[in-house]
Amino acid sequence: MLDRSRIGYHFPPFQVELEKGRLRLFAKAIGETNPIFIDEAAARAAGYRSLPMPPTYPFCLGKDIPDPFDTLHLFGLDFSGILHGEQCFRYHGLACAGDTLFGQKRVSDIYDRKNGALEFIVVVTEFKDRDGRLVCEAEQTIVVQRRSSP
């Protein structure tokens, strides 16, 4: 069983810059064709300050930390038996290339199904701008499949 006392645990806060080149590479990787995500002039023409952060990119921001798999390590897990079950983003503002975002991740819930055969870790990361305004929240649900007892 996962340690339920970890519910509410806050990971170290972090800050990340939304890099233009990285956003272009991300756009290429996902086959993006919408010019506002690739061409800064097109983004500006559409009213954005620079290339806007695409919908799933907050997940990537959460990987730009010294230990991107810190949730697994907190629970003494490795990649085996781990699934990314669900992901949710809630958007409160807009971030563009050049912005610095301030991230704070916490364990928001742990629960199980099928008599503990499946356990779920819910991790929420809040991203705020320099003025402390909430830009977005990323909620990841990690599924931990129990292997049969040795």
Partner 1 sequence: MKTVGEPQYAVGDSIPELRAPPLTRLTLALYCGASGDHNPIHVDSDYARSAAGLEDVIGPGMLTMAYLGRLLTNWVPQQSLLEFQTRLLAPSKPGDCITCTGRITAIEEGSPRVIRLELQAENQDGKKLATGTAVVEYPDSSATEGVNTSA
> Smallest distance from the beta carbon of 114 to partner 1, in angstroms?
17
User: Using the rule CB under 8 A, which residue among 11, 40, 52, 127 binds partner 1?
Assistant: 52
Select the residue interacting with partner 1 from 79, 131, 148, 150 (CB under 8 A).
Answer: 79
Report if residue 4 touches partner 1, rule: CB under 8 A.
no
* Three-class SS of the chain: CCCHHHCCCECCCEEEECCHHHHHHHHHHCCCCCHHHCCHHHHHHCCCCCCECCCCHHHHHCCCCCCCCHHHHHCCCCCCCEEEEEEEEEECCCCECCCEEEEEEEEEEEEEECCCCEEEEEEEEEEECCCCCEEEEEEEEEEEECCCCC
7 counts as binding partner 1 under rule CB under 8 A: no
| Span from 1-9, 88-96, 97-105, 119-127 in contact with partner 1 (CB under 8 A) | 88-96
The least CB distance from residue 5 to partner 1, in Å, is 27
Q: Please choose, out of 2-10, 30-38, 101-109, 113-121, the segment that lies near partner 1 by the rule CB under 8 A.
A: 30-38
